[in-house]
């Protein structure tokens, strides 16, 4: 029963549970949302600010609420076609000049990288190659080398003389 509860709560910690005028320890935050302390530590690693560097670590309620709100905002405001999520603006933005680079992580997935047209921060959007036509919008996407592979090497010309490659 307890495990179930943890899963449900861990998905969407409600920022409204946070009292903004008090400080929280990692343990208290974990208890508040019924999540593991490591989840809270992961939040700290991904940008949840600490009060100071004293022990035990304290987090301002105000900062915690803002952090969770941003996290929610992130999932509530999905990017439209042609947009990427800007962490600094905390909202989807168009890339400057609609120019983005595609950086493949493997055959199927990669990152779109562009500069925010609003604040010029670097924005990333993780995409699967197959979905690019759907999210492309007005973006001009530059593919490094990838086009060559798709065009040329799919059908290696076995007929040609192998030594002729040089
Ligand atoms: Zn921005």
Distance 109 CA to ligand 1 centre (A): 24
Read off the pLDDT of each residue in 114-121 and give the average, rounded to a whole number: 95
As a whole number of angstroms, the distance between CA 72 and CA 76 comes to 6
Is residue 131 within 8 Å of 81, Cβ to Cβ?
A: no
pLDDT recorded at residue 153: 47
3 CB contacts (<8 Å, ≥6 apart)?
none
Q: Is 33 a residue whose pLDDT tops 60?
A: yes
30 CB contacts (<8 Å, ≥6 apart)?
36, 37, 39, 40
Q: Which of 64, 82, 81 is nearest to 16 (CA)?
A: 64
Share of the chain above pLDDT 90, in %: 54
* Predicted TM-score (pTM) above 0.75: no
As a whole number of angstroms, the distance between CA 45 and CA 79 comes to 24
4 CB contacts (<8 Å, ≥6 apart)?
none
What is the bridge-based pairing of β-strands 91-93 and 95-104?
unpaired
Read off the pLDDT of each residue in 120-141 and give the average, rounded to a whole number: 94
Distance 61 CA to ligand 1 centre (A): 25
Distance 98 CA to ligand 1 centre (A): 14
**What is the band of 76 on the pLDDT scale with cuts at 50, 70, 90?**
low
113 CB contacts (<8 Å, ≥6 apart)?
100, 101, 102, 103, 122, 123, 124
Residue bearing the bigger pLDDT, 73 or 115 = 115
Distance 79 CA to ligand 1 centre (A): 13
Q: Which of 9-13, 46-50, 141-145 has the lowest mean pLDDT?
A: 9-13
Mean pLDDT, rounded, of the chain: 82
Distances (CA, A) of 95 to 19, 42, 52, 70, 149: 36, 29, 35, 20, 27
DSSP state of 78: P
Could you list which residues have their CB under 5 Å from ion ligand 1? 86, 88-89, 116, 118-119, 121
As a whole number of angstroms, the distance between CA 77 and CA 93 comes to 11
Sequence ranges of the domains in the chain: 15-74, 84-142
15-74 classified as CATH 2.30.110 = no
């Amino acid at each position: 029963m307890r495990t179930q509860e943890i899963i449900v709560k861990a998905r969407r910690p409600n920022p409204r549970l946070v009292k903004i005028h008090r400080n929280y320890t990692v343990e208290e935050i974990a208890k508040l949302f019924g999540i593991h302390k490591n989840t809270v530590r992961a939040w700290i690693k991904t940008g949840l600010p600490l009060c100071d560097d004293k022990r035990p670590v304290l987090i301002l309620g105000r900062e915690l609420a803002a952090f969770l709100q941003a996290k929610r905002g992130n999932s509530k405001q999905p990017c439209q076609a042609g947009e990427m999520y800007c962490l600094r603006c905390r909202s989807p933005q168009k890339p400057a000049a609609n120019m983005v680079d595609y950086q493949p992580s493997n055959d199927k997935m990669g990152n779109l990288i562009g500069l925010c047209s609003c604040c010029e921060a670097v924005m990333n959007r993780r995409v699967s190659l197959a979905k690019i036509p759907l999210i492309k919008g007005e973006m001009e996407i530059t593919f490094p080398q990838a086009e060559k592979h798709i065009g040329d090497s799919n059908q290696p010309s076995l007929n040609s003389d192998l030594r002729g490659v040089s």
